[in-house]
Structure 1
Amino acid sequence: MSTRVENLLLSLDAVRVFKCLGDETRLLLMLLIRHERELCVCEMTHTLDDSQPKVSRHLAQLRNCGLLNDRRDGQWVYYGLAPTLPEWVIAILDAATVAEAARLAALQERLTAMGNRPERQLEMC
């Protein structure tokens, strides 16, 4: 495990997590990514109807908190949940998913209707 990942895991305490998830945009990004397993920036900007700089700034904050990881595939940058999230963080996301069910359903419809979505080279499990 890299030193950066170890440092993030050590610093992943409840206060830090709640500060990261305390913003509406960041919470919705986490819930969308959790549902879809992986999304690129263009999909998230379309779904939330927000600017690319705003979404990218929030994604960087979530990544710096240790909640997300990213990968580049050509021109696309995909974001997914950090694979090492503790169960208590998953439980928080589960509760937030229930609380935001109606809004998430509307956002997922918007995502599904998006034209020109980037195609994944690997099928998600």
Structure 2
Amino acid sequence: MNLNPVIFFKGLSDETRLRCMLLLSHEGELCVCELTSALDDIQPKISRHLSQLKQAKLLLDRRQGQWVFYRLNPELPDWAKQTLDKTCSQNQAFIQPNLAALKKMAGRPDAPRCN
């Protein structure tokens, strides 16, 4: 995959999209309802941001019953994966509240986790 750095960084330029990408980098795969809960935001807003990331080819999705799960595009170039991994590992305090909210979420969909 030949990813234009402008497209990649534009995808990360919004805080909601950045948090989604970092949570997906950390967790491997999450459904829209999990991201909604983790980010304490409304589903239409989260879905709009996920759609933008998918259109930029940064994310892939899959349907499992009523759930739509998102994950990082495995074809992201190494530099993009490394940027996300490093940002996630060096900024745990940034996503810690989101991870805590995710952990407390009741009724999480049962899906195989990548992580």
- Whether the aligned pair in 1 keeps the contact of 2:59 and 2:73 (CA below 8 Å) is yes
Question: How much is the aligned-residue C-alpha RMSD, in angstroms?
Answer: 1.4
- Could you say which residue in structure 2 is the equivalent of 1:4? none
Query: With structure 1 as the length reference, what TM-score do the two structures score?
Result: 0.86
- Could you say which residue in structure 2 is the equivalent of 1:69? 60
Q: Which secondary structure state, in structure 2, belongs to the residue aligned with residue 56 of structure 1?
A: helix
Task: Name the CA shift for 1:107/1:123 in 2 (closer, same or farther; >3 Å).
Answer: closer
C-alpha displacement of 1:98? 3.6
The higher-RCO structure (CA 8 Å, 6+ apart) is: 2
Q: Which runs of 5+ in 1 are unaligned?
A: 1-8
Structure 1 residue ranges (4+ consecutive) displaced by more than 3 angstroms after TM superposition: 122-125
- Could you say which residue in structure 2 is the equivalent of 1:3? none
What does 1:1-125 align with in structure 2 at a 5 Å threshold?
Answer: 9-10=1-2, 12-120=3-111, 122=112, 124=114
C-alpha displacement of 1:100? 2.7
C-alpha displacement of 1:92? 1.3
Q: Cα deviation per residue 1:74-119 (whole Å; 9 max; x = unaligned)? A: 0000000101010010121123214431021221111011001011
Q: Which runs of 5+ in 2 are unaligned?
A: none
In structure 2, C-alpha distance between the alignment counterparts of 1:79 and 1:22, rounded to whole Å:
19
- Whether the aligned pair in 1 keeps the contact of 2:26 and 2:88 (CA below 8 Å) is no
Q: Between Structure 1 and Structure 2, whose CA radius of gyration is higher?
A: 1
Task: Name the CA shift for 1:100/1:57 in 2 (closer, same or farther; >3 Å).
Answer: same
In structure 1, C-alpha distance between the alignment counterparts of 2:88 and 2:113, rounded to whole Å:
24
